[in-house]
Amino acid sequence: MTAPRSRRSSRSRRAEHTADTRRALVRAARTLFAERGYTATGTEDIVAAAQVTRGALYHHFKDKADLFRAVMGECAQDMAERLVEQETARAESESGDAWTLLRHGFQSFLDACNDPDFQRIVLVEGPAVLGHSAWDALVEEHGYVLLAEELTRAIDEGSISPMPIGPLTRMLAALISEASLYIARAEDHETARKEAGEVLERLLTGLSRTDA
Amino acid sequence: MTAPRSRRSSRSRRAEHTADTRRALVRAARTLFAERGYTATGTEDIVAAAQVTRGALYHHFKDKADLFRAVMGECAQDMAERLVEQETARAESESGDAWTLLRHGFQSFLDACNDPDFQRIVLVEGPAVLGHSAWDALVEEHGYVLLAEELTRAIDEGSISPMPIGPLTRMLAALISEASLYIARAEDHETARKEAGEVLERLLTGLSRTDA
DNA sequence: TCCTGTTCCATACAGACTGTATGTTAGAAG
DNA sequence: CTTCTAACATACAGTCTGTATGGAACAGGA
């Protein structure tokens, strides 16, 4: 996709400029998709914001949905990076048993999902624009793996009781996603955050092995 | 909207025929939206299936999204009716404490969501086609009320510990919705249903007051 | 009964948008 | 210097949505 490049020529200005236009397109599309949604955003709007023409868009991407896929991939990637960053920071700063660590992890996960771009593009538009299969493949690749790893480790360590990881991962992700949307939409974000966190906390206690 | 009808003229053939075309449009749109999705379905396809012209469509509905809103409303209504039916049937057949009754209620709720039309139209396309506010208003009107009532009663009876009902309702609905989508998408529906049910069961135990 | 107004729907049209086909330029390769 | 190709820009065709126009059928009052 990014040019066959048979000989490696030390990152020419040419190739650099090409990557620039592509990035500009993705960035512009990301902003507009997040603001107005997929269908309400015309390709003309995107190329205008990126200061190129429609020819550039259709040279780099198969069609409009393909551009959206790139945008959503970037959003998911950003979220994943932010999560691992938080995760590592909390792992070395905080201390405690694995169970409380996991619970706090979910709470910060909830906070991380409080991002307009992510919510609109990945959670709302994504499933409708790309099919279910394509959307799931993207999320599987970027986001679910982290959550699944964390949960697997929690089971191995005995923090939570053994359960099928597949549905557990999806359902917890959906739970947190909905909670983040609820918070974002609420008039009073403060109390909404507190209440949603409380409900999440209660639901998670059901997973704990302490009451097995 | 359905004619001012100043004098009540005993449901003339005229009005009946009018209602017929409207129903035909909604039915045709429902089938096509569920099969191909919203954007992939042209208004020409809909009126062809309903055996009318586009003029009829734009006479009864403001625009394509308005037709979708009617379709989604019907889907939600069907789901709500099915739920209360199951609910009453189970309430008089089964017997047991309120807590197990509630748990079984959620399981049958999960089974009821296993419906292609409902999943595609209400859960996937809905949030993207209508905005968040319009979608939420529809679901609030048709579906959430039942769940919220049930949960409020459960709290009053002491089955589950007191919690903010707003986020609790949304999050549980999202949980079951995602579980139903997971089951529908799985290769082996049988085991997927069992596993998702198990995870749901575990999460719900966190709400129970018995461990408070 | 005749006239009038309104509902209901069909048809024709204008605008917008997507995707493709064609042309052009600048850099890389030999 | 020549040639080839990636990287665009431009022009065009097809499709779709929404609207405006027109007509037919029915209801109601004089």
Give the ranges where chain B is alpha helix by DSSP (H).
Answer: 13-36, 43-50, 54-60, 64-93, 98-112, 116-117, 126-129, 132-139, 145-157, 165-185, 189-205
Mark yes or no for CB contact B185/A127 under 8 Å: no
pLDDT at A1: 37
For B19-54, how does the pLDDT look when each residue is reduced to its tens digit (9 = 90+)? 999 999 999 999 999 999 999 999 999 999 999 999
CB < 8 Å to A38, chain B: 128
The shortest CB-CB distance from B206 to any of A37, A167, A205 is to A205
Any strand D atom closer than 7 Å to B58 CB: yes
The answer to whether the C-beta of A53 is closer than 7 A to strand C is: no
CA distance A12 to A52: 21
Q: Residue A8, CA: closest nucleotide via C1'?
A: C28
Any idea which residue has 């909390």 for tokens?
A: A90
Between CA B154 and CA A87 the distance in angstroms is 36
pLDDT single digits (tens) B76-114: 999 999 999 888 888 788 778 888 888 999 999 999 999
Q: For residue A56, which nucleotide's C1' is closest to its Cα? A: D8
Beta carbons of B29 and B71 less than 8 angstroms apart: yes
> pLDDT tens for residues B170-181?
999 999 999 999
Residue type, A183: I
Candidates A212, A81, A63; CA nearest to A130 is A63
State whether B182 and A192 contact (CB < 8 Å): no
Q: What is the pLDDT of residue A61?
A: 98
Sign of CA dihedral A190, A193, A196, A200: negative
Residue B31 burial (CB < 10 Å; 0-12/13-18/19+)? middle
Q: Please provide the distance, in angstroms rounded to a whole number, between the alpha carbons at the two ends of chain A.
A: 52
pLDDT band at B2 (very low <50, low <70, confident <90, very high): very low
CB B165 within 8 A of CB B152: yes
Predicted confidence (pLDDT) per residue in B123-142, tens digit:
999 999 999 999 999 999 99
Please tell me the predicted confidence (pLDDT) of residue A8. 38
Q: Please state the rounded mean pLDDT for residues B144-169.
A: 93
Query: What domains can be seen in chain B, in order of their start residue?
Result: 12-61 (1.10.10.60), 64-205 (1.10.357.10)
Specify the pLDDT at position B11. 58
Residues of chain A with pLDDT under 70: 1-12, 210-212
